[in-house]
Structure 1
């Protein structure tokens, strides 16, 4: 059962395809915060207010876990219905804000990092599976809108460096896996068009995240240099793997080169500041 929502339109999914940093938004509260609280802590009565207040560390970890489950269930719903319902934008908007707020509080307290990593890695894995998988019973129905909605969820979640860097790492690794599969796949196989579409969705997502947040991440006090280098190397590997399948579709290489070029421009200052191995940076320029 979905409670009635205000008649005003949520603009969460506006500009999905725009390659520009999203404008800053206000920090106003919304009644959906209360829905998320009830999902996270069953039976506990809460008051309207800051979504991160009045909870101890265990409550916040539990809320983070269950809120990610809530977001994944929302994405499942749009694939089941082949379209986003009238409340999807509102619910997903508040769910993403709720997760980001909780995560920020938890990271600032420097507690339960391994558990938090497990929760976020699980969220990324499950959402990526939805973004890159067409339901078996989809038939002739176009599911691209649902896929792009999930892509946009990733883009918004990437506002937090802790999530964004893990998204790029997972997606770049997935690109390499898909490129290897394409080499062995018959072009006339029914799954080929879906894999082809998924490839572009993934490459586009990486470009969005780099364009939106790279400069912000590099200025983050808790910037993770280790995972940064890991996903940069992973993108370079993805580029190499896509060059192998260039005979299948040369556009793969065109798009990944555009991503690598943008990445090189964004991280150049960081490379000279020692945040990225200069040997790795030099490979971005090749």
Structure 2
């Protein structure tokens, strides 16, 4: 019986030894096969592993971006506690008896500024998703770079123009919040850039684009998507935004110059257009709203512009000359509507009064001043 037990143990030991030897042979065989791979096959294997790793990282980044976008879309960026100050739309469509300060005074809230930047980032992210740039460039473009205020200015300008496409009334609290914060942010950023003297040509291009696009929207009865604005209320909203932006002479002077040039074009169209044409009433309204905008900017800010250190006298001469040319063009329409010339005479009279009351304006070319009194 003892012999049988010894034989059974020896059989188990033999089986264990055979199993270990088979396992070793398989391991050695796999090692030989892997070492027998050609260099091209090993390079291809490494490339596949590298691509798989990059795809995994890209998927993780996209998941993070999607999560951020969902969080931004669902969170309440502008609660009632951060409502727009009512003073922003004071004197809406009316002459200001007294100027109430600039838009970048102590009432500018850091909390509103941060929330506004978050909203702009979210808009930029939705606009640029799907671009063909590399992943690193895309990550930089999805958010505003804090150090580059020029890009912040450009994004804020695009944001303001975009929300003006859907403006219907100043009673819309969301539009009032966004418009107020956008105007304040643009003015503050522009002030910083001009003081540092950075990218002045680029900044001028951005501001000129802002002025032209807002004036085009102010004078347009149709938005880009073809929907009709509710009467002239939307036009007055955009006019008020340009008026607020014009508190800065860098923007205000360029706005007057652009409006005068558009008046010249519109006056020529009115001269040769049919009074019974469907678009004639709209051209008539646009003419008055542009003349009114010039009056607002001159009466509200001209005296304060003259006190600014960066006031451009050459630009002043350009838009004063343009106002004189616009008045002459409107005099040709006196047979159709004499109110155009009368309204422009009132504006030029106020302008002459303002220019004559400031000693620094007396250095202008005499022929320009004399044209205002003809």
Give me the whole-angstrom Cα distance separating, in 2, the residues matched to 1:109 and 1:30: 21
Cα distance, 1:225 vs. partner? 1.1
- Asked if the contact 1:32/1:91 (under 8 Å) is kept, the reply is no
Cα distance, 1:124 vs. partner? 0.4
Cα distance, 1:250 vs. partner? 0.6
Question: Which residue of structure 2 aligns with residue 130 of structure 1?
Answer: 217
TM-score (norm 1): 0.88
- Asked if the contact 2:77/2:115 (under 8 Å) is kept, the reply is no
- What RMSD in Å do the two structures reach over aligned CA positions? 2.2
Give me the whole-angstrom Cα distance separating, in 2, the residues matched to 1:72 and 1:285: 38
Matched, 1:179 2:254: no
Which of 72, 86, 95 aligns to 1:19? It is: 95
Map 1:99-110 → 2, pairs under 5 A: 99-110=186-197
Cα distance, 1:173 vs. partner? 0.8
Ranges in structure 2 where 5+ consecutive residues have no aligned partner: 1-72, 126-138
Question: Which residue of structure 2 aligns with residue 83 of structure 1?
Answer: 169
Give me the whole-angstrom Cα distance separating, in 2, the residues matched to 1:28 and 1:196: 37
Give me the whole-angstrom Cα distance separating, in 1, the residues matched to 2:361 and 2:215: 33
Cα distance, 1:109 vs. partner? 1.0
Cα distance, 1:9 vs. partner? 5.8
Question: Which residue of structure 1 aligns with residue 306 of structure 2?
Answer: 218
- Asked if the contact 1:272/1:278 (under 8 Å) is kept, the reply is no
Residues 37 and 149 of structure 1, relative CA distance in 2, 3 Å threshold: same
Matched, 1:72 2:149: no
Give me the whole-angstrom Cα distance separating, in 1, the residues matched to 2:198 and 2:110: 28
Which of 115, 124, 145 aligns to 2:202? It is: 115
Q: After TM superposition, which residue ranges in structure 1, 4 or more long, deviate above 6 angstroms?
A: 41-44
Q: Bigger CA drift: 222-231 or 2-11?
A: 2-11
| Greater fraction helix | 2
- Asked if the contact 1:233/1:280 (under 8 Å) is kept, the reply is yes
Aligned length: 271
Question: Which residue of structure 2 aligns with residue 280 of structure 1?
Answer: 368
Structure having greater relative contact order (Cα 8 Å, sep ≥ 6): 1
Map 1:132-171 → 2, pairs under 5 A: 132-135=219-222, 137=226, 142-171=230-259
Cα distance, 1:32 vs. partner? 3.1
- Asked if the contact 2:169/2:237 (under 8 Å) is kept, the reply is no
Cα distance, 1:275 vs. partner? 3.9
Give me the whole-angstrom Cα distance separating, in 2, the residues matched to 1:113 and 1:15: 33
TM-score (norm 2): 0.68
Give me the whole-angstrom Cα distance separating, in 1, the residues matched to 2:85 and 2:107: 15
Cα distance, 1:18 vs. partner? 2.6
